[in-house]
Amino acid sequence: MTNLKVCFDLVESPSSFVKVRSHYNLAKQVVVERWQRSRLEQAQENNCGGRLCYLFCALTKCVECSSEASELADIEWDNLGFGLLPTDYMYMMKCSQGGNFSKGELQRFGNIELNPSAGVLNYGQGLFEGLKAYRKEDGNILLFRPEENALRMRQGAERMCMPAPTVDQFVEAVKETVLANKRWVPPPGKGSLYIRPLLMGSGAVLGLAPAPEYTFLIYVSPVGNYFKEGVAPINLIVEHELHRATPGGTGGVKTIGNYAAVLKAQSAAKAKGYSDVLYLDCVHKKYLEEVSSCNIFVVKGNVISTPAIKGTILPGITRKSIIDVARSQGFQVEERFVPVDELLDADEVFCTGTAVVVSPVGSITYKGKRVPYGVDGFGAVAQQLYSVLTRLQMGLIDDKMNWTVELS
């Protein structure tokens, strides 16, 4: 036990290693789960139980861990869809109501325990985010605007009466989780690592009230295209009876309840052969809002129009990025109320979101009338914007926007 304690003392002091940064917590688990079972017995047999031997063993295992994390997972990278592939590690951090989040830690990916009366289960007190990591040609990894996701989570947490990690805590947790699961980041051009941060009321509460405890969690999964059509045009149907959000509600934050509410209309649309649903405002029932999980853009000539952010539409980070890219490319972008009738005369329509990035729309059906757009692929405008954004995300062009964060 004395020898094992020495090893733990080393693990608890990262400076004794050298700087292993985000692999620090990972190294702790490796020592416990792997090294203890084999190296300890071997060291005792060889009578090398001194501090130097243990430092060497711990360092060796940490290096092995880093090497292992840098190897690609053995999966069919050419056949990635948008589904969950369990990876190695997840990140978890807890906080009490009225308190602040402290240092979290990596854990093996797996199920978590929740009290049956947890606030997230009983009252839907929960948020989530979505962002991606891309592998560059040199093997390094790029994150795309993680601080924007952190800010959006904080805004949503305020609306849902929850404490939230600081921007720095959020970004560092994302970095640590991605590096721990580095082997699951697809090769260049094969997809991306989807990163799903969660914030939930995990404490037990029976009466309607904010939960007494909160959990921040991140898990990841390698993904390909969101829609089964890939980058081929998708077909939407306008929903004019059911609505995604209402004024004064939570449509403008990424709360979990917003998404369960669209499943009925989405399932009915998919059963009829459509890719997804385009929602209208619930007051006038004539202005475009958004698709189930992405924002909508309408192109006419050199003008690109998109519904204004007014509390019922999620302020998409890809939406925000595309607006900036479009303006930098010389397009006029209007954020305004967009009547559904403008779809009849549009040159192009496309969607944006973290999952879909930019997806061309091939047709929209409204009250039985189908309006076709480009059926062979991207329209010229969507193609131009998609090319600029994805090349920037993957590190193929200079990031003059300062949007990417590189992990080596």
CATH value at residue 156: 3.30.470.10
Per-residue pLDDT, averaged over 152-169, amounts to: 98
Tell whether 246 is covered by a domain: yes
Segment 274-293, tens digit of pLDDT: 999 999 999 999 999 999 99
Same domain, 113 and 210: yes
Show the tokens assigned to 219.
């898990």
Same domain, 388 and 297: yes
d(CA 119, CA 203): 6
Tell whether 53 is covered by a domain: yes
Same domain, 263 and 307: yes
Same domain, 16 and 120: no
pLDDT at 57: 39
Contact 152, 254 (CB under 8 A): yes
pLDDT at 110: 97
Tell whether 228 is covered by a domain: no
Same domain, 107 and 158: yes
Name the pLDDT band for 231 (thresholds 50, 70, 90).
confident
Tell whether 105 is covered by a domain: yes
Classify 279 as helix, strand or coil. Answer: strand
Res. 66: pLDDT tops 60: no
- Among 39, 70, 101, where does a domain finish? 70
Q: Which residues pair with 277 in a beta bridge?
A: 237
Tell whether 9 is covered by a domain: yes
Same domain, 135 and 187: yes
Number of domains into which the chain is organized: 3
pLDDT > 70 in the chain, percent: 82
Q: Which domain holds residue 7?
A: 2-70
Same domain, 207 and 99: yes
Same domain, 277 and 240: yes
Nearest to 141 by CA among 63, 72, 197: 72
Name the pLDDT band for 216 (thresholds 50, 70, 90).
very high
Segment 235-274, tens digit of pLDDT: 999 998 999 999 999 999 999 999 999 999 999 999 999 9
Per-residue pLDDT, averaged over 221-231, amounts to: 80
Nearest to 198 by CA among 120, 261, 271: 120
- Among 177, 204, 223, where does a domain finish? 223
Name the pLDDT band for 70 (thresholds 50, 70, 90).
low
Tell me the pLDDT of the chain averaged across its residues.
87
pLDDT at 376: 77
Name the pLDDT band for 9 (thresholds 50, 70, 90).
very low
pLDDT at 272: 97
Name the pLDDT band for 374 (thresholds 50, 70, 90).
confident
Active site residues: 254
Per-residue pLDDT, averaged over 119-145, amounts to: 97
